[in-house]
Amino acid sequence: MEQILQPVKDLWDTFFVHYTNDVSLAFTAFMVNHYEIPLILSIVYIVTIFSLREVMKDRKPFSLKGPLVLWNVMLAVFSMLGFYVLFWETLRVIKAHGFIHDLCTADAEINNPWTLFFCLSKIPELIDSLFIVLRKRPLIFLHYYHHTVTMFYCWDSYAVRVPTGGWFAFMNLFVHSVMYSYYAAAAFGIRFNTLTRQLITALQIVQMVAGTVLTVMSLNYCTDPVDYPPRVRLNLQMGLLMYFSYWILFTKYFVEAYFSKPQLKTIHTKSE
């Protein structure tokens, strides 16, 4: 039994006891050298969901109630834990050194594993789309666009150790805590009114606005070439485009889903 449990203990020690800048750098080096991973995953993801959608055209939708509830509960719990850790770690750095220091350095990101977990979580989150196509729900552009773009951006952000990554992560994890809890409850059979669904979509839009503002601030206030080399600035510039595109697309979705006639059937998509 001890031999079986030893790898688990080693993994626990690595991530939760002895997680250091050196461990973080090892994962950074891996991501720098393996950009083919998100590229291959994106291609497989797109081919799979559109192929399955074609296969399902003449078939009855699967219910998948049990797996869907379990999946959303798992993601909700993960998001809550990640938000709790990253929020307090970011607050600790702000209290010690100030907001601009936290915005312009990776102090809050490199000494705990949750930023890494957050970035890697964008890979299993692709499974969300399988539930959509197998249950024959609408597969809208916003859904698969933000899945692929966010996965790429998170991979690159950890590779270049972007200093604003902690902010992006804990904002997204907070939204996901609410959103996946809602998904789990809805999959279980609890019905919600339109206002609840509107508030969740509005929360997603607020996240995109906040991400845009923080990115603009970091590009203007953080000028140290040591912390902000050209590769980091490029990541932030791409992040600005990403957040702005999400802002536009989520707002468009909000208007079409709740205020256009006839109204679309409201299917929420995950924000980053």
- Residues 57 and 191: their CA atoms lie apart, in Å, by 27
Q: Which residues contact 225 (CB under 8 A, 6 or more apart)?
A: none
CB of 42 within 8 A of CB of 148?
yes
Kindly report the length of the chain.
Answer: 272
In the residue annotation, 146 being an active-site residue is answered as yes
Q: Which of 143, 146, 147, 176 is catalytic?
A: 146
CB of 112 within 8 A of CB of 195?
no
Long-range contact set of residues 152-156: C-beta below 8 Å, sequence gap at least 24: 152/38, 152/39, 152/42, 153/235, 153/238, 153/239, 153/242, 153/272, 154/118, 154/119, 154/122, 154/272, 155/31, 155/35, 155/37, 155/38, 155/119, 155/122, 156/31, 156/35, 156/235, 156/238
**Which of 162, 192, 204, 180 lies closest to 80, judged by CA?**
180
Place of tokens 């055209």: 57
Helices 165-188, 114-121: inter-axial angle, 10-degree rounding: 60
- Residues 142 and 245: their CA atoms lie apart, in Å, by 10
Helices 21-32, 141-160: inter-axial angle, 10-degree rounding: 120
Catalytic residues: 146
